[in-house]
A and B are shown apart, each in its own frame.
Chain A
Amino acid sequence: MADIDIAEEIPLPAQQRPPVVTSGVIGWLRANLFNSVFNTILTILAVYLLVMTVPPLIRWAFIDAVWDAPNGQACRGEGACWAFIGEKWRFIFFGRFPYDAQWRPLFVVVIIIGLVLASCDRRLWGRRLMLLWPAGLVVVGILMSGGVFGLRYVPSEYWSGLPLTLILAVVGMLFAFPFAILLALGRRSNLPAVRVVSVAYIELVRGVPLITVLFMASVMLPLFLPEGVTIDKLLRAQVAFILFAAAYLAEVVRGGLQAIPKGQIEAADALGLGYWRRTRLIVLPQALAMVIPPLVNNFIGAFKNTSLVLIIGLFDLLNTANTALTDSNWQGFASETYVFVAAIYFCFCFFMSRYSQRLERTLNRGHRR
């Protein structure tokens, strides 16, 4: 900054002025891609790689692709067989849910996405949203399982595909996040018993792979239950998922709690706020705003972790896609299927990432320290 001021006051000799071409295409290229020998080599290499990979990919995905075919035989060629996705998308999305009732999971997906989108708007944050969530989840439960209002009963073994993934992820975060906050607060508590329990829980759960937790929930837990008592498998997986995600989130939240200056706590105490009001009004708003990036990182990770439930035989989005591949009329279209499923996962994760960036900006507005 200071240099510029000086440059304006005292004109420099002509040969010391910066080179003229700094703007325009050539200027940009020179400044960013060819500003040293090493960077020039890297640029040429990168261009070479792009030329080698992008055109074949486009040819596979679009130019040579088959968009319409009656069966797998007719679909075989150089390009992708999107006809397979056209044939199987409904199964990939809704899986084993009774075909004629698949409008129900469709509504579930719409409701869940709607709730999440509504929660993203800061202007709507408040009591009404807090009531909307349980109401929405009750409707989701009714639509999925039925048995009331003339809806056919559909046991949870038949819940599958995208709705199952979304339920696991969204309900999972919804419960894991508050639990994580309590764990993080517990870990920093002055009460030794609370602290020990929190630390033990977090360390124990973090030290075990999610798959193990899921196995325990699906295989071991029933062994310990008394005769005749069964807990729904999906519910067990959901609880395992919540308990697991909470331990990770708790450590992220703790990072934020630790970054709150002591003076903030003293000021809140001096005003007589007391522990819970202090935590809710002063500590958490600042701590959580500070840890949005790692928090969202965890949410994205947890969202994708839901695909591990296929290990215990639940039909989430990835598992329905896998199952779709076993159709003997349509053999050998794994690439197309996985690209399709990856694109769905990507949409959700990319949305989370973009939203977190926006939230970070708004929460940090006028917030310099």
Chain B
Amino acid sequence: MSNAAEAMPVQAPAPSIIEMQAVHKWYGEFHVLKDINLVVGRGEKVVVCGPSGSGKSTMIRCINRLEEHQQGRIIVAGIELTSDLKNIEAIRREVGMVFQQFNLFPHLTVLENLTLAPIWVRKMPKKDAEETARYYLERVKIPEQADKYPGQLSGGQQQRVAIARSLCMKPEIMLFDEPTSALDPEMIKEVLDVMVELAQEGMTMVCVTHEMGFARTVADMMVFMDRGEIVERAPPQDFFANPKSERTRLFLSQILAH
């Protein structure tokens, strides 16, 4: 990963890598995202939290256009997201995503899961793609599972494969949509460890998660959402110590209670 870490500061002088300006979205009549303004700098780690149904997943899924916004602008890695398929695919190449349900391809082996996109999208020769894949499997600490099928792995292992799959595309940004919510408690740590390492290497990360311990460790900025709005944003020490809004305080008291 040292290459990527070195390459990062050299690249484009852009101060921000994700920019959401006055973004709105509706599901039918339901206003899911209300006037979202968010700027994420290169290498910055943003943790998004909030009650369920608050629109956090929808927001990060707008960043790689898994959801379409209806108003406002979203600019990712210097490219504006419009309905232009070329732009969408260009952005998706640079943005990795990890899902709550892993979404590995069950008909392919772990190695094939990892090499698929590099071979078909990045046009990487098969041998190089496999080399990269083995490197990232090593990084997520399951090199011995390369030839198994996803169904033969535990949840924690599957999620680590999913992270490795995204990393194989050498993305500039990683989105995490509740990556540990579907895991048994004893497997959460192995996934978070991988994510912490990734954060320490300078990856730009936007994570929707309720793991507040993780948030404290890695976040540069906490974003709290409720009912489709960004209610509060602050560095983690301020966010946890003295939240400004009543809603944030209530939410934190609920999830930190036990």
Contact = CB atoms under 8 A, between A and B. Distances in A.
Interface of A: 261, 263-264, 266-274, 277, 281-282, 285-286, 289, 363, 366-369
Nearest to A272: B92
Contacts of B5: none
Given A270-B66, A274-B85, A368-B149, 12 more contacts: A263-B101, A264-B103, A267-B97, A267-B99, A269-B65, A269-B92, A271-B121, A272-B92, A272-B121, A368-B152, A369-B106, A369-B151
30 contacts: A261-B103, A266-B66, A267-B97, A267-B99, A267-B104, A269-B66, A270-B66, A270-B95, A270-B96, A270-B99, A270-B166, A271-B121, A271-B169, A272-B117, A272-B121, A273-B117, A274-B85, A274-B89, A274-B121, A281-B116, A281-B120, A282-B105, A285-B107, A286-B105, A289-B107, A363-B107, A366-B149, A366-B151, A367-B151, A368-B151
Interface residues of B, number: 29
B120 to A, nearest CB: 5
B120 A273 contact: yes
A2 B104 CA distance: 33
Given A273-B120, A273-B121, A368-B151, A267 B105 contact: yes
A50 to B, nearest CB: 44
B42 interface: no
A273 to B, nearest CB: 6
Interface string B81-110: 000010001001101110101011111000
B148 interface: yes
Contacts of B104: 267
B24 to A, nearest CB: 22
Interface in B15-56: none
A270 B92 contact: yes
B64 A367 contact: no
From B65, B85, B96, B117, name the one whose CB has the most chain A CB atoms within 10 angstroms. Answer: B117
Contacts of B151: 366-369
Contacts of B149: 366-368
A106 B107 CA distance: 40
Nearest to B151: A368
Interface string B147-183: 0110110000000001001100100000000000000
Top 4 A-B pairs, shortest CB-CB distance = A267-B103, A272-B92, A366-B149, A368-B151
Contacts of A268: 105
Nearest to B105: A282
A361 to B, nearest CB: 14
Nearest to A275: B85
Contact of B99 (A263, A286, A289, A368): A263
A363 B89 CA distance: 31
Contacts of A286: 105-107
A264 B104 CA distance: 7
Contacts of B121: 271-274, 277
B67 to A, nearest CB: 10
Contacts of A281: 116, 120
Nearest to A290: B107
Contacts of A366: 148-149, 151-152
Contacts of A263: 99, 101, 103
B152 to A, nearest CB: 6
Nearest to A264: B103
Of listed A274, A282, A366, residue having the most chain B CB within 10 A: A366
A277 B105 CA distance: 14
A321 to B, nearest CB: 43
Nearest to B92: A272
A271 B99 contact: no
A23 to B, nearest CB: 34
For B65, B107, B117, B148, which residue has the most chain A Cβ atoms within 10 angstroms?
B107
A311 B158 CA distance: 57
Contacts of B99: 263, 266-267, 270
Nearest to B89: A272
Contact of A270 (B64, B107, B148): B64
A269 B206 CA distance: 18
Contacts of B117: 271-273
B81 to A, nearest CB: 13
Nearest to B165: A271
B255 to A, nearest CB: 26
B19 to A, nearest CB: 20
Contacts of A270: 64, 66, 92, 95-97, 99, 166
A264, A266, A368 — most chain B CB neighbours (10 Å): A266
Nearest to B91: A272
Contacts of A271: 92, 116-117, 121, 165-166, 169
Contacts of A272: 89, 92-93, 117, 121, 169
Nearest to B98: A270
A282 B93 CA distance: 17
Interface in B103-151: 103-107, 116-117, 120-121, 148-149, 151
A65 B167 CA distance: 73
